[in-house]
Amino acid sequence: MLFPVSWFRIVVLVVELSVDILTVILGLHVISIYMADLQKTQLSAVVTRTVRIIKPLPFTPTYEWQSVQRWDPLPAGLEIRMPLDGSPKMARIPHEWNWTVVVQNVAKPLNVRLHVRRDMRIGELRKQIADLMSAARPSKRHINVNNIVTIPSLSDESTVEDEKLFSRRNDVKFAFLNERLL
């Protein structure tokens, strides 16, 4: 196809905007695309559009693979697929993951590393903590699982997935109620 000679004298100014989402002012903005004639010193507006800048929804991790936008901050511990063929980046919560919790205790806080599964019940997590604390005590006296509580209170029958514990790892605490204080 042949183009008229005048087409070669026109340059389209294309600008790729790459900005931090936090620095963009939310609301309505007018964007204009200009063309320049190389023989003249004038710019003429070609297209003007109004766009609405909105805050994107935050990425909420789940146990299923889901697409990730390049601006989404991802929490540590996710499984991430980064294909080399140009397909979108994908992420999910692993079906099994480790969680280091601090068990609040009257004497001193104790770090406990839990092995967590998607379908695990909260009661099983409390049992894991009781068993690990019993093994770490010099007296080797078994700790009653009923003395391990969650803050906020969680049902023993609910699962890790039901309670969204992966996303709430920093908010959910465990505490040991010492028998001498009861």
Residues 156 and 82 placed together within one structural domain of the fold: no
Residues 90 and 122 placed together within one structural domain of the fold: no
Residues 175 and 105 placed together within one structural domain of the fold: yes
Residues 128 and 167 placed together within one structural domain of the fold: yes
Are 133 and 112 in contact by the 8 Å Cβ rule? The answer is yes
The gap between the terminal CA atoms of the chain, to the nearest Å, is: 89
Residues 166 and 155 placed together within one structural domain of the fold: yes
Whole domain around residue 87: which residue ranges? Answer: 58-94
Q: What digits encode the pLDDT tens for the residues 31-74?
A: 766 666 666 666 665 677 777 777 777 889 999 999 998 888 89
Q: The pTM is what?
A: 0.64
At residue 66, the pLDDT reads: 95
Residues 127 and 75 placed together within one structural domain of the fold: no
Among the three residues 66, 94, 122, which one is the final residue of a domain in this structure?
94
Domain tally, the chain: 3
